[in-house]
């Protein structure tokens, strides 16, 4: 295998507004549900918050210079809904628009493509308080209106949009609380039926947003999602395990990705829900399955799957206790997923353009006495995933780009500032940025267009 990438392969990095911007009370921004969540003692590890975090709101120029040094072709960032619409709807906050104008223009000056995500979990608090956020059908129209505003304000320069990032995190973890420090804002525990209905409203909001983006765009744009599906990979690369993993990939994502790609809920999914089936119509399913220009997937750890003599024809096996993992307990090393995901979406749904919208890991990073962060563990993790991605490209599967998560150390949701995912070290006291060894490695990958 050559382990190289063509000239048109897109190398990027990704961040999310709430995790890096800071300035939560600046520029006319309204409160989000994460501001409220962080203010409740015990919700976030060490009671951390993102009031400052990496402070990209004030230091975006420095970060764009960093991206230029890396040689990035694209920067995937999300917009704070509360910074554009402090009340969730209605009057547009001009200061918020101005900030994203400045960021976009700074990127374009360095020939870095802005890839905009409309929603990365920071729902305006007023909408949560007024009607329960994603528990209400009202959210679908409010989100569509917000999408139309972003298209109107930014599509003259932004050509690529993601509607929603990771349905399961803000729905399943937000409205069905998990373990300590695994629950997400707004931190509610609803019934299974309400949860399934919220899933449906999130899908419908996505579909309406696709329509609004296209209706309000000032030039031809491309639209996709950044989902985090369960990615099943064959335990052994033999035909029956491959077929089993592909079947599991489709069926285990029936509630989000498969519904979008096929315009229906799988019969088995609805049967398994029983009395908890959400209310929906054929017209709504048609909206949910609005055609996309590309598919994006955040990917970290796969499900190891093999053929089995059972009703579904497959089973996922557990990781052994000694299987290598990164700092996050759930982040098991399984780099083959960057090969199988683009292959399976092509085989299942004939996707022509697929992007790895997040891939990276937390590590135990520290500045050494020489002022370096020698994150050999993260470098190992990224190198193995890039090798697998290069295989997908070489074999002709539709992988078109790779966004490393993340450009910067930032606020890691319920884990606060305790987990560092960045390829750039951020001193959260001084806000000084220091590229880690992994950043220097990624710079060389981009420069040579091969895994080195």
| Choice among 113, 227, 284, 358 that is catalytic | 358
Annotated catalytic residue 109: no
Q: What is the 3-state secondary structure (H, E, C) of the chain?
A: CCCECCCCCEEEEECCHHHHCCCCCCCCCCCEHHHHHHCCCCCCHHHCCCCCCCCHHHHHHHHHHHHHHHCCCEEEEECCHHHHCCCCCCCCCHHHHHHHHHHHHHHHHCCCEEEEEEECCCCEHHHHHHHCHHHCCHHHHHHHHHHHHHHHHHCCCCCEEEEEECHHHHCHHHHECCCCCCCCCCCCECCHHHHHHHHHHHHHHHHHHHHHHHHHCCCCCEEEEEECCCCEEECCCCHHHHHHHHHHHHHHCCCCHHHHHHCCCCHHHHHHHHHHCCCCCHHHHHHHCCCCCCEEEECCCCEEEEECCCCCCEEECCCCCCCCECCCCCCECCCCHHHHHHHHHHHHHCCCCEEEEEECCCECCCCCCCCCCCCHHHHHHHHHHHHHHHHHHHCCCCEEEEEEECCCCCCCHHHCCCCECCCEEECCCCCCEEECHHHHHHHHHHHHCECC
Q: What Rg value do the Cα atoms of the chain yield, rounded?
A: 21
CA atoms within 13 A on the CB side of 115: 29
> Measured between alpha carbons, how far is residue 71 from residues 18, 213, 225, 377, 445 in Å?
25, 29, 25, 22, 10
Q: Which of 166, 194, 227, 290 is catalytic?
A: 166
Q: Is 275 known to be catalytic?
A: no
Residues classed as catalytic:
166, 358
């Amino acid at each position: 295998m050559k382990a190289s990438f063509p000239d048109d392969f897109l190398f990027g990095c990704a961040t999310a507004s709430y995790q890096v911007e800071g300035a939560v009370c600046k520029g006319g921004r309204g409160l989000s549900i994460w501001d409220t969540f962080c203010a409740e003692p015990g919700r976030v590890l060490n009671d951390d918050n993102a009031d400052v975090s990496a402070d990209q709101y004030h230091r975006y120029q420095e970060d764009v210079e960093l991206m230029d040094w890396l040689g990035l072709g694209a920067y995937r960032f999300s917009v704070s809904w509360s910074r554009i619409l402090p009340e969730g709807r209605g009057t547009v906050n001009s200061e918020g628009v101005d900030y994203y104008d400045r960021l976009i223009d700074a990127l374009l000056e360095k020939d870095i493509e802005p890839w905009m995500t409309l929603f990365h979990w920071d729902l305006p608090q007023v909408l949560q308080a007024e009607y329960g956020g994603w528990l209400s059908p009202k959210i679908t129209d409010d989100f569509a209106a917000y999408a139309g505003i972003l298209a109107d304000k930014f599509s003259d320069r932004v050509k690529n949009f993601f509607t929603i990032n990771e349905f399961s995190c803000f729905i399943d973890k937000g409205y069905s609380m998990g373990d300590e420090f695994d629950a997400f804002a707004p931190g509610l525990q609803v019934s299974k039926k309400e949860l399934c209905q919220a899933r449906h409203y999130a899908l419908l909001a996505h579909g309406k947003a696709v329509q609004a983006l296209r209706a309000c765009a000032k030039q031809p744009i491309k639209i996709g999602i950044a989902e985090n599906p369960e990615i099943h990979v064959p335990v052994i690369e033999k035909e029956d395990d491959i077929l089993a993993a592909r079947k599991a990939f489709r069926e285990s994502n029936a509630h989000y990705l498969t519904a979008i790609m096929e315009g229906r809920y799988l019969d088995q999914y609805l049967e398994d829900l029983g009395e908890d089936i959400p209310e929906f119509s054929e017209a709504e399913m048609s909206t949910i399955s609005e055609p996309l220009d590309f598919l994006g997937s955040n990917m970290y750890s796969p499900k190891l799957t093999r053929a089995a003599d059972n009703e579904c024809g497959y089973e996922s096996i557990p990781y052994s206790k000694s299987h290598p993992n990164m700092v996050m307990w759930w982040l098991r090393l399984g780099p083959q997923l960057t090969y199988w995901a683009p292959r399976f979406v092509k085989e299942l749904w004939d996707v022509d353009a697929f992007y790895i919208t997040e891939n990276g890991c937390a590590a135990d990073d520290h500045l050494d006495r020489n002022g370096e962060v020698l994150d050999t563990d993260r470098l190992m993790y990224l190198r193995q995933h890039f090798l697998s991605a290069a295989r997908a490209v070489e074999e002709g599967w539709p992988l078109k780009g790779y966004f490393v998560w993340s450009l910067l150390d930032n606020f890691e949701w319920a884990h606060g500032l305790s987990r560092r995912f960045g390829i750039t070290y951020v001193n959260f006291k001084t806000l000084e940025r220091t590229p880690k060894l992994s950043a220097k490695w990624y710079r060389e990958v981009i420069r040579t267009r091969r895994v080195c």
